[in-house]
Amino acid sequence: MSKLFTASITFDFVVVAEDETHAHQVAMSEMREALSDMDRYDADIDIAEGVSANGWDDDCIPYGGDGNTRTKDYK
């Protein structure tokens, strides 16, 4: 039977900013583009059993499933 796991990803990218606060704003703004630009092997992925992703609830549909089964149905 399939189980639920939480995947956490860490990756590095460089931004241009005036200070650390501005760098955080730029990073948040550019994060999606940076993700699409990087090679998938440049990311560090940690796996933990269970559901611990921020904002994830029983009605969400996990990645890698059939696209219809909700988190609560795997529990």
Q: What is the pLDDT of residues 30-57, one digit of tens each?
A: 999 999 999 989 999 999 999 999 999 9
What distances in angstroms separate CA 25 from CA 15, 33, 41, 45, 64, one per listed residue? 10, 14, 26, 24, 31
Q: Residues 57-65: what's their mean pLDDT?
A: 95
Take residue 7 and report the two structure tokens written for it: 């995947």
Q: Of 46, 39, 37, give the one whose Cα is nearest residue 10.
A: 46
Q: For tokens 């990645």, name the residue.
A: 63
Each domain of the chain, given as residue ranges in start order, spans 5-74
Give every CB contact of residue 7 below 8 A, 6+ residues apart in sequence.
45, 46, 47
pLDDT, position 66: 95
Q: Which 8-state DSSP code applies to residue 18? A: S
State pTM to two decimals.
0.78
**Whether residue 75 has pLDDT greater than 90:** no
**4-24 pLDDT, tens digit each:** 999 999 999 999 999 999 999
The pLDDT, as a whole number, for residue 1 is 78
